[in-house]
Structure formats: C-alpha cells, structure tokens
Chain A
Amino acid sequence: MLKKTAETAEERDAEEQMMGAEIVIRALIEQGVDVVFGYPGGAVLPIYDALFRQNALRHILVRHEQAAVHAAEGYARSTGKVGVVLVTSGPGATNAVTGLTDALMDSIPVVCLTGQVPTHLIGNDAFQEADTTGITRPCTKHNYLVKRMEDLPRIMHEAFYVAQSGRPGPVVVDLPKDILQGKGSYLAKEQTQRLSYRPQTRGDRGRIEEAAALLAGAKRPVVYAGGGVINAGPEASRRLREFVRMTGMPCTNTLMGLGAYPASDPQFLGMLGMHGTYEANLAMYNCDVMLNVGARFDDRVTGRLDEFSPNSKKIHIDIDPSSINKNVLVDVPIVGDAGEVLGDLLDIWRAKSYAPEQKAMAAWWAQIEDWRGRDCLRFEQTGSEIKPQHAIKRLYELTRDRDVYFTTEVGQHQMWAAQYIGFEEPNRWMTSGGLGTMGYGLPAALGVQVAYPDALVIDVAGEASILMNIQEMSTLAQYRLPVKVFIVNNQWMGMVRQWQELLHGGRYAESYTASLPDFVKLAESFGAVGLRAEHPDELDEKIVQMIETPAPVIFDCCVAQEENCFPMIPSGAAHYEMLLGPNDKVEKPISEEGMVLV
C-alpha cells in the first residue's frame, strides 16, 4: 500500500513542472537539511524567493560568505550531518573559497550552492561572473556546473552523496540563473544514481588479521588516532575506547582527533605533534608497533620525517587510499572506514583471545609514567598577570560539567586550548587544523550554536584572529545565539611572535597589533555583553558571569603578553628534540631544511 502511494508520488513529480530553484529546495529537504547558512545576491534570488515561500528550511544570514562556510563546518563537525551554504555568484563564491579549502583540508562534509550568471552569458565576463568551478576545483572534493535542467536533481543528490561518503569534503554546485528560473521536474534521491566513486569502507580481512597479530606481539605499542575516527561517527570512537581499554595500550590523539579518546582516561597520553605532550611524542618515537587510525601522518605530527618513529612497525587505517604511504611508508595498510575496521579488529582480537605480553607492557607503562613525570604542561600562575594557560585551564574547569562545545581561532590560544581542555566525547571540539584559518572560530561557533541552541558554545580566540570575522557578532545578535567569545588577549600575534623569538633572533616584524579595539565596547555595539578580566583574582568570577549570561558575550581576557607555547618541536626537528619550556634553548641551530618549513 505504502509502495503504491510512493510510486504515484514519483509519477506526479515527473509530470509536475517546477522552477529550478524549487527543485533545489526540494532536494535539500529530501536530504534532511534543516538549516542553510547564506548570503543573497542577484544570481541566487530565485532560490531566496523559493526559500521565502516555504517553512521546512531555516536560513541563517551571515555577514560574510567565508563565515557561511565556517558556520556550516561547525554545524557539520558537531552534528555529523552535511553543512549547507548558499552564496551568490562572483564575489559571493570567491569569498567562500577560504572556507571551502578549510573544509577540504579537515575533511568536513559541506555542500555549497553558488549562483552563476545565466548559461548563455558564461565566459562573457558578465557582471558578477567568476569561473567558480575553475576556482574551486582544487579546493573542493568535487564540483558541478549545472548546464542542463534535467541534470539538476541528480547533481543535487550526488553532491550530498559525494560530500559525505568516503573521506568527507566540500562540494560546490554552481547554479546558473536561467536554470534556477527555468522549469523542470523533480527526481527523488532513489531515482538518481552515480556509477563512479564507490569508496571502500570495509577493510581487507587478511590485513586486519595481520594488524591484530602484530599488535598482539607488541612490546611497546601506541595507538595514534585522528579526525577520521570522529568522521566515522560516535560508534567508531566507542570502538576505539573498547579496543584501547581491552588491550591496555597507550593512546594519543591528533589535534583533529581530540575527543575520540577520553582525555581523563589514564591510558590517554594527550595530543601529539609540534605542541603535543612529551609522553605522547616520546611514545611515538620509541614504540615498536604503531596503530594509526584515521590520521594522516601530517607534518605537524611527524616532525622530521627520517627521524619519525624509526623502529616501529606501522599499521595505517584510512578511508582514503591516497593518505596511505604518502608521507610515511607503512607495513600494514588498511583502506576502510575507521569504525568498521575497528569493529573487525575487535572481533579478531576476541576470537583469537589475544592478550598483550604483561611484563613488556608493564615496563612500557613504567617508561611512559617516567616521561609523564616531567609534567610537560606545568606552568606557574604567580604575580598579578593572568597566564594564558591558567585562563584556559580555568575556563575548562568551570565549564566541564556542562553541555559544552569549544571552537578556536588559530595561534597560541588554539594550542593551549588543545592542551588544557579535556574532551571526553567526540564532536565537541571544532578547530581549523589543516589550513590553520584565523577567523574560523567565531562563525564555526555560530554554526554549532544553531545546531545546539541550549548548549554552551565557546570560541577560544586570539585578539588578532577574532578581528578576521568579527562581523559575525551581528549574526549572533540577530538570531539570539548566545555564543561566548573568550579572547586570550596578549596583544600579539602570539604564535608569530614566538617563531620570531625562537627562529628569527627576536626581530618582531609586524606581529604586534597596535590600536586594538576596546572589546567590551565592541561587544556592546553589537548588542552583546562585554566582560574583561585583568587580574587573576577576578578571573573565575568573570568566567562564571560569562557562562551565566544568556546572550552572546565577548570576554576580553588580558593575559601575560610574552608567554610561549610549550612543549614545542621546532620545525624540521625530531620528536626527541622537543623544547619543554622557556629555559630549554634550541640546542643546535635550526637546519636550513627546517627554516624553510612552515
């Protein structure tokens, strides 16, 4: 009976002619979209008109198209759903490029609809024409220019399929105005199919068995998990936990993977990489078997490649075959979805009743505890200045029992947030990892708050970064989104200053921001609440006040200006060449190869 009505509905669709813009909206609704982040303009007016005449989709009007993409990323990363963006042709599309590149680097599923001049004007340098598919080809997972009405429904559905399957990423659909304004018929998702692009999600059983055997025989194993575990969904994180706990192995997370394994668990070593913990990096260097789940041996993680974990057998689980053997040659490559492969690994481990060798594991943990004893994240909060580490640590401690999500901008504050905030669950941490985009945090927080209106959403910001998308305060005000912007204000582009101090002889070229705005007044001018803390004694009380304010807040946290972020592995150095604090000097001059690295 049900089937019959569905069929007639499809038949009705095929006959019913509707505007291209309506087809777009209908496809979005069928794909389960409930919110679109966008900004109007001439080329997309038909879509705005169609939006106006329906109630199923909500539109959030941002103040800059870059922010629309970051908001969609925040929404996607926190919900696991596809984030949707709608921008106009020309400048609308070019403004979105940074966001698209960010989503590509961090594997975030985003569908971005761009307006385009009518098909007959394409290539004529028409008003607000840009070669959007040309410009976005290298910064999207895939893109489409819809040239024929009959392709529109298929391309809309395909865009969602491509954005979220395999390794997720951004997809652009470029929509000429005559297509949006023209008439055509709708096709449901099931009626459209793509032949190519079928990513493999099940890992090769033989390889997984090989991996299990290797891990079972390990004396100094380490699990290194990344953003792929988060992308694979909460079940993947659950399986990761189960595997790590069952085997008693130490686990470290990448910047993108924070939350995949609970920070409070004793088997967690903290984040690894350039600003990772001493114990995580040394465990990577000294391990004999490494299990990489959903991470990509990024240069921020490996440091100097020829000194990267030189004596280990490496297992790499990744859904993207091109991530495997790209930077680091591995012994057991497994192409597949992190969650599915971990499921198989668990089954095999149990079926074979594997257990790691007790004595060797005890010795390995004794070694790790020794490294842990260095307490590499220690700092001293003394004097009348607020230490930035202290500010973030208190921010965490005063919010940890709440339903809280964190985003960040880019710089020292981002690394301190990664070090001092503990994440127990996936999808709670949104940061720009691969691209390192200043200006990401505020719009991303906006997107998270749209998805979770009642949660506490905090953007840990730097005073320089926040100015890159500060206009989104206006969006927060319009939609009453109570995002908290916590500015770790050191008056410097702190991360730039730190590199200049350590690598360029303390010549601080253009890294000091003079004429910063008064952030409290700035907040007020946007209809938000402004708070400021200048002394350690008032910090807690002000943070509590921020949390309890049911409106957007800018918190200007004035901190010690010249604090550096440690531990640090200088570029081009190996894991064991880590600097632990201000008294550690760079022992040998940074190599020439190191100096050219970013």
Chain B
Amino acid sequence: MAVLVDNEPGVLARVIGLFSGRGYNIESLTVTEVDPDQNLSRITIITSGTPMILEQIKAQLGRLVPVHQVSDLTRLGPYVERELALVKVVGTGEKRVEALRIADIFKAEVVDAGLDHFVFEMHHRSEKVDAFIDLMKPLGMVDVSRTGVVAIARGSKGL
C-alpha cells in the first residue's frame, strides 16, 4: 500500500493509530518525505487481510484528512519492491572468509570492516534479504538493521 500524505506533525500517528485501533496488521512500514516543495511524504505499508479487509484499509486510509492518495500496488499491476539491510558479522578465520564469500554472491557491499568484524550493506527484495540474514546468522551475525520495504509500480505511470 503506497500512501501519499501531507508531511505534517501527527500524520504517522494517525496512520499507525488507525491500524492498531481497527485491528489491522502492519508487517512493515516506511515513511520519508518525497516532495519537499509540496510537503509530501510517502508511506509504504505492507499489510495482510481478506480482500474485504484490504478494501477497508484503503478506504479508511483515504478518509484521513492529510492523506492525498492511497494505492494498493499489488492490485495496480507489476511493481518493484526493495529493502535495505545493514548486517554486522563478528568472527575470525574460516567463518570470516565464508561470510565475505556469501556477501560477494549476494552482491552485498562492505561498508565497515575491522580485524574481527564486517558491516555489510545488502539491498534487494525482502525474501532475498531474509535469505542473506539467515546465512549470516551461523557466521557470527550480532546485529541487523532493516529499512522496511519501499515499492513502486513498474511502467511509465506515476502515482
């Protein structure tokens, strides 16, 4: 669900309050200003529910005063989604080499390194990020930070 909102105080609280108050799920939520001139932010929400619930979520979001537009990307057609993760792996010897080799396969970049640690930056579809993290766990992963999903429709049309 992509939601274009006025970038004003409380707008995120309204969206989150709507989800918790009406018992909808939030699996992931990201928000950042996308149009400083018009003062617009874009919220990307991953949620789940029956078709009736999804229609409700869309209508309820549309009812919030600072909301300009709500689009269910999964229903509009093909779309691209991406997520970024920073993954810290600590270790030496064989495990360290293995971590680096896997990072290479996943095209993850080393953004910080020491003699006993790496921080990898990895971005892709969430499932691929999941897979990368799963592989890093036994190799000494001590910390992970993920952005949540952002998404956009394929093709030439804007929101």
Q: A: which residues have CB within 8 A of B?
A: 133-134, 137-138, 141-143, 145, 147, 162, 167, 195-197, 320-322, 324-326, 329
Contact = CB atoms under 8 A, between A and B. Distances in A.
A197 B63 CA distance: 8
Interface of B: 5-6, 9-10, 13-14, 17, 21, 38, 52, 55-56, 59-60, 62-68
A121 B38 CA distance: 30
B60 A196 contact: no
Most A C-beta atoms less than 10 A away, residue of B56, B63, B68? B63
Contacts of A321: 59, 62-63
A170 to B, nearest CB: 13
Most B C-beta atoms less than 10 A away, residue of A145, A147, A197, A320? A197
Contacts of B66: 196-197
A320 B64 CA distance: 11
A137 B56 contact: no
B53 to A, nearest CB: 10
B63 A134 contact: no
B55 A320 contact: no
19 contacts: A133-B10, A134-B13, A137-B14, A138-B17, A141-B65, A145-B9, A145-B10, A162-B65, A195-B6, A195-B38, A195-B68, A196-B67, A196-B68, A320-B59, A321-B62, A321-B63, A322-B60, A325-B52, A329-B52
A195 B40 CA distance: 11
Contacts of A329: 52
Contacts of A147: 9
Contacts of A141: 65
Nearest to B38: A195
Contacts of B67: 196-197
A-B complex: 7 closest residue pairs judged by Cβ atoms: A322-B59, A142-B65, A321-B59, A196-B68, A197-B65, A322-B60, A138-B21
A215 B60 CA distance: 29
Nearest to B8: A144
Nearest to B57: A322
A137 B60 contact: no
Given A197-B66, A322-B63, 10 more contacts: A137-B10, A142-B65, A145-B9, A195-B38, A196-B5, A196-B66, A322-B56, A322-B59, A324-B59, A329-B52
A196 B65 contact: yes
Most B C-beta atoms less than 10 A away, residue of A143, A195, A329? A195
Given A142-B65, A145-B9, A196-B6, A137 B59 contact: no
Contacts of B55: 325
B83 to A, nearest CB: 28
Contacts of B59: 320-322, 324, 326
A188 to B, nearest CB: 21
Nearest to B61: A322
A325 B56 contact: yes
A222 B13 CA distance: 42
A138 B13 CA distance: 10
Contacts of A325: 52, 55-56
Contacts of B14: 137
A167 B68 CA distance: 17
B144 to A, nearest CB: 32
Most B C-beta atoms less than 10 A away, residue of A143, A196, A321? A196
A197 B59 CA distance: 13
A137 B65 contact: no
Given A138-B21, A196-B6, A326 B56 contact: yes
A472 to B, nearest CB: 31
Nearest to A321: B59
Contacts of A162: 65
B101 to A, nearest CB: 50
B52 A137 contact: no
Contacts of B64: 142
Nearest to A322: B59
Contacts of B68: 195-196
A152 to B, nearest CB: 15
Most A C-beta atoms less than 10 A away, residue of B14, B60, B65? B65
Contacts of B21: 138
Contact of B63 (A143, A145, A320): A320
Given A138-B17, A138-B21, A196-B68, A322 B10 contact: no
Contacts of B5: 196
A320 B9 CA distance: 25
Contacts of A196: 5-6, 65-68
Nearest to A162: B65
Most B C-beta atoms less than 10 A away, residue of A143, A162, A326? A326
B138 to A, nearest CB: 44
A145 B14 CA distance: 14
A322 B64 CA distance: 11
